[in-house]
Every structure is written in C-alpha cells, then in structure tokens.
Amino acid sequence: MFQELEDIKEKYRQLTLSLSDPALTSNPQKIKKVAKERADLKPLVKKYEDYQKINKDISESEEIFIDPQAEAELKKLAEEELRDLGEQKQKIEEELKIMLLPKDPNDEKNVILEIRAGAGGDEASLFAQGLYRMYSHYAEKNGWKLEAMNTSLSPIGGFKEIIINIRGDRVYSQLKFESGVHRVQRVPKTEASGRIHTSTVTVAVLPEADEVDIELDPKDLKTEAFGASGPGGQNVNRNYTAIRVTHKPSGVVASCQDEKSQHRNKEKALRILRTRLMDIAQREQHAKIARDRKSQVGTGERSEKIRTYNFPQSRVTDHRLNLTLHKLEDILDGDLNKFIEALILHSQAEMMEKRTKTSA
C-alpha cells in the first residue's frame, strides 16, 4: 500500500510541474485534463502527507519517552501523545485504504432515473408516484436539479412510468444502489375489506451518457412523431409533438412527450437513448468480467428485490443489508441518508476484502 502511495505522490509532483510547462500551457484541452487528474489525486496525497507527519511526530515522542535523561513529567506527556497519535494513525490508515479503492468512472455523472409500476395495477402506479416524490425530495436536500424526461400517467393519477434526469455533484455515486425492485405492503384506498396488498415498482438508475460516450449515427435512427397521451389513453395533443426514436441496430426505443415542441422532445429522447445504449454496453462488459461472480450490493439487476416499504408496521427494510428502519414517513419524505451511507460502506468493505484477498 505504501509503495502505491509513494508512486501516487510522485505522479502528483510530476503533474504539478507539468502545469507550468510552456508546451502544455499552449494546449487548453491538455492542461484541463492534467489539472483534473491532479485535482483528483490531491485529497489522497494530502491524506498521505498527514499520515507521514503523524509518523514523524510518533518518532519524536518515542525518542523522548525512551530517553533516560528526560524528566518524568515530559515522559508522561510523551506517553499521552503517543496514545493519541496512535489512534490518529490507525484512523488515517483506514481512510487511505478506502481512498485507494478502485474508483467507479461513473460516480461523477448525472443520472437518468426510470421508475416503472410493476405488479399490483393501480396500487403499483400510486407507489411509483410515491417513489418519485421520495427521490425528488432527496435530490432537493442535496441541491440537485430535476428535469422530467417522459411521463406516463395511470387513470387514477399515479405513474405507469416516469423518467427523470437528475443533475448535480456526484449524483450517480449516491443513487447507484437504488436500482432494483421496490416492494410496498399496505392497504389500498380502494380496498374495502382492509386487506394488505403487495405491489412492486422497478427503479433503474443509469449514469447519463454524454455525446462523447455514445455517438449516434443518424442512419441508425428511426424517428417517429405521435400525439401525446393523457390519463386513460385519450389523445391530448393533435399536433403530434411527441417523439419516439428507435436505434435500429439494437432495437432500443426511447420516447418523450412532456415538451410542447418536437425539437425538445427529440432532444430528450436522444439523451435517454444514449444512456440506455451505454447501460447495455456496460452491462455486457461487466458480464464478461464477472460472469461467475455476483456481488450482494451493486449488481443493479432490475429483478432483485432490494427494499420493502411496510405501511402497517411503519418500517422500511433493505434486504441487501438486512437493515430495518422504523421511519417510513421520513424515508418517503426523502430521508435516505442512512440507507445510502450504509450501502456505500458495505460496498467499500466488499472491495477492501477483495483487494486483501488479491494481494495475499
């Protein structure tokens, strides 16, 4: 680990020197790339320098502690300092191990979040609306921006499907473990006998693809205009402003009907299409790398039941962590931090365990 840290520190030094190289300053794209790489390494280098300083302080305190000529009071102070420094050293070592874990290249990206009603009919569509509200509030708490990309309403006002774009600081890193099946257990308002029903909603969290990530050839696209539909399927737009784009080689389809102009709807549909195509490409790549390995957290499979929201008992259970919180209302109001922080820590622990086994 420490040789790796020394190599990173040297790389950081070289990057710092290169920023003042006249050959680099004349190339804005190159200097931007180098500056970003240096900025990414800076927190790790700073933490390692803190670690080195603590080691130096420990050596100085040890010299005083073992010095036969040192006064008793001074030795006592050195002993106390050694205890404190030892605790600090251990804490920073753990932090360095986490900072050295492989970075998910998508963590910095914005997301396309897709929420779809599953089993349960109208009740599932109402819960889809509830999850949309939950993620909207969580995004607001984090200062992120939301934009509806496409919505399909159910006859009673819930969502058959809603696709939203969430933009902000490291959005994917916070939401990536939300992909999967969310199950709700409650008594529907339409249920006269008071029986508890179980319904499901699928959530897909996709890192938003940039144009440079997925380049679309116009010859591969089939674009169709159609009338936007409202609740119950009735046509509410006779001007055919809604757009459906099909990627012919893959058969992947994306549509948008939320905007009043074809141009804006096509722009949003293409953003959804790029993101879905990138998701497919990444899933195929991950399947090749880990065909026989299935991680408990982070596979993002849409078939996984990841969480249950039980209304009668006011509890929410995350099945990957076996973690239950009796704070249903707060969670549906966007208070997701305990789950998200626990999922991130769990993922880090799994990666650290794998790293230890690999290096053993």
Distances 220 to 223, 252, 262, 289 between C-alpha atoms, Å = 10, 11, 19, 29
> Would you kindly state where each structural domain of the chain is located, as residue ranges?
2-99, 111-289+299-349
Residue 89: exposure state from Cβ atoms within 10 A (0-12, 13-18, ≥19): middle
Q: Which residue has the tokens 């070592």?
A: 93
pLDDT score, position 291: 47
Phi/psi of residue 186, nearest 5 degrees: -165, 170
Between helix 2-18 and helix 28-66 the angle, nearest 10°, is: 130
Residues sharing a CB contact under 8 Å with residue 91, sequence separation 6 or more, in sequence order: none
Find out if CATH 3.30.70.1660 is the number for domain 111-289+299-349: yes
Reported as a single tens digit per residue, the pLDDT across 115-154 is 999 988 889 999 999 999 999 999 999 999 998 888 888 8
Q: Rounded to a whole number, what is the distance in angstroms from the first to the last CA of the chain?
A: 12
Q: What value, to the nearest 5°, has the Cα angle with vertex 117 and ends 137 and 155? A: 95
In whole numbers, what is the pLDDT of the chain averaged over residues? 83
What is the maximum alpha-carbon separation in the chain? 95
What residues in the chain have per-residue pLDDT under 50?
231-237, 289, 291-302
Reported as a single tens digit per residue, the pLDDT across 186-239 is 988 766 667 888 999 999 999 888 766 677 888 888 888 887 665 444 444 456
